[in-house]
Amino acid sequence: MTMSTRSLASLLALALAACAGKGSDTPAPAPAPEPAPVEAAEPEPEPAEGAGDEAEPEPEPAKAAGNLLETIQKSGQGSKFLEAMDKAGLNKHLTGTEEEVTVILPTDAAWENMPAAIKAKMNKPEEAAKILKYHLLPDKMDLNRVMMHRSLPTLAGPEIPVQVIEGTTLKFDKANLVEGNIEASNGMVHVIDQVLIPKK
């Protein structure tokens, strides 16, 4: 080997050694940090029995129904009847607490459509009282009880014929039932579409 060749080989060896040294100086990558251990959540203490429970509200007491006079006023269907009862001095039957009464109540339209002959009778106190009392039954009777009878006693004396047609239509004499079983504290109200006229 010539001198030049030996020098070149020495230089290559030095260069390789330098490169190898530099590579060894490169720092190794830092290890990834280990995740922090997750601490188990401590269970929340259970509330003491009964603690925090909201008391259930007490049910409101049922409102007592008004008397017959008040009930008819609220219904909005018998103002003409009430006027006539007041004029005849018969309101005690609607406000009393010692007796229960069932009112067969004609609508205001029924009073407006009364025949002229009946309107003339209503101008006579004795006749008016008899017609009005013919709409009052001396007991509290719902429709189930009404339909068990073929006629009903009245405070006027004569009885009202009762008829059930085909199981669907209830008639008080010639008047049709419009609304029934309106309850009052001292009785019951059934609304009809005609004024009842007692038989002589």
Q: What is the pLDDT of residue 3?
A: 44
Examine the pLDDT at 165 and tell me if it is beyond 80.
Answer: yes
Domains of the chain (ranges plus CATH)? Answer: 68-192 (2.30.180.10)
Q: What is the pLDDT of residue 97?
A: 87
Residue 139 banded pLDDT, cuts 50, 70, 90: very high
SS (H, E, C) the chain: CCHHHHHHHHHHHHHHHHHHHHHHHCCCCCCCCCCCCCCCCCCCCCCCCCCCCCCCCCCCCCCCCCCHHHHHHHHCCCHHHHHHHHHCCCCHHHHCCCCCEEEEEECHHHHHCCCHHHHHHHCCHHHHHHHHHCCEECCCCCHHHHCCCCEECCCCCCCEEEEEECCCEEEECCEEEEEEEEEECCEEEEEECCCCCCCC
Residue 169 banded pLDDT, cuts 50, 70, 90: confident
Q: What is the mean pLDDT of the chain?
A: 80
On whether the CB atoms of residues 108 and 78 are closer than 8 A, the answer is yes
Calculate mean pLDDT across residues 44-60: 55
On whether the CB atoms of residues 184 and 199 are closer than 8 A, the answer is no
pLDDT in tens, 16-34: 444 444 444 444 444 544 5
Examine the pLDDT at 49 and tell me if it is beyond 60.
Answer: no
Q: What is the pLDDT of residue 43?
A: 54
Q: What is the pLDDT of residue 2?
A: 42
Calculate mean pLDDT across residues 69-87: 94
Going by C-alpha positions, the residue among 120, 119, 121, 136 that lies closest to residue 85 is 136
pTM attached to this predicted model: 0.68
